[in-house]
Amino acid sequence: MPRPLIAVTTSQRTGWRVFPFINLNLWLSGGRGTRWGVGRISDLEHVDGLIIGGGDDIGPELYGGTLGVSARIDSRRDALERRLAEAALEQNIPVLGICRGAQMLNVALGGTLDQSAWDTYGPDRKITTVLPKREVCIETDSHLSLISGTAPMLVNALHSQAVDRLGSGLRVSARDTHGMVQAIERIRDPFALGVQWHPEYLFYAHRQRALFRALVTSATAYRTNRNQTNAMRDQMA
C-alpha cells in the first residue's frame, strides 16, 4: 500500500530548507510529503493530510487585529492557508500546524493572536535558537498527552506571535512555564493539532517524531474511509 500523501505548506522564502526536514519526519513515520505554497498545487482532493508550516507572521486583519503591527506578512500565503485550513477541517482531513500553522488553525476557527507575545510575557524570555531550550508542560487530559506523554519536554519555540483567544472547538494542550500557549488541539475528530515549536528539527527525539506519526496514522485512516466511501458510491452508480 502506498504511503499516505501529506501536503506541506511553506514560505516562499524559506520553504526550500524547511520542507526537507518535514518530509524526512513524514518518511520516518510512514508517510510522504508534497510541498505546497503560493503558486503551487493546492487541491485537497488528492492528499490524505495537511501540514501548515512555519514562517511569516499572520496578518492581523484575518482576526480583527491592528494593521501594521506584524513584522513580516505574506498576505497571499495567509489567504491560501486559511482557505486550506478551513476546507481540511470541514472535510475531516487531518491537520498538523507547526508554529505559524498552529496560529493559522486558531484563526481559521475564529480565534485571535497576541501579536506581540514577548511584550506580554517579557522580552528576556524569548529564545532564538532551533535547539530545544523552552520547557513545555502538557495538559494531562489532552490528545497531545496520548501522543507525546505527560512529562515536561524541552522544545525550540521561536515564534513572536502566540495564541490569544481560542477558536471554536479548540482547547489548550500545552503551555510553557511562563504560561504562554504552546499547543492547541481540536476537541473532536478529525485530528487537528497545532504546536508553536518546530518538531521537524528535532527528528532525533522520539516524542517529536510521534507528532508526525500521529498525523500519518490519522491520514491513513482518512484515506481508507475515503476510498471505501468512493467504492460504495461507484457501486451504487
Catalytic residues: 99, 198, 200
What is the distance between the alpha carbons of residues 82 and 59, in angstroms, rounded to a whole number?
Answer: 11
| CA 140, 206, 163, 177 torsion-angle sign | positive
Terminal CA-CA length for the chain? 26
- φ/ψ (deg, to 5) at 224: -60, -45
Q: Distances from the Cα of 91 to the Cαs of 63, 94, 206, in angstroms?
A: 22, 9, 30
Record the cell numbers describing residue 146, joined without a space: 496520548
**Beta strand residue intervals within 21-129, DSSP E:** 32-36, 49-52, 95-98, 113-114
Q: Distances from the Cα of 60 to the Cαs of 66, 75, 107, 195, 230, in angstroms?
A: 6, 10, 10, 20, 40
Phi-psi label, residue 79: left if phi above 0, alpha if psi -120 to 50, beta otherwise: alpha
Phi-psi label, residue 39: left if phi above 0, alpha if psi -120 to 50, beta otherwise: left
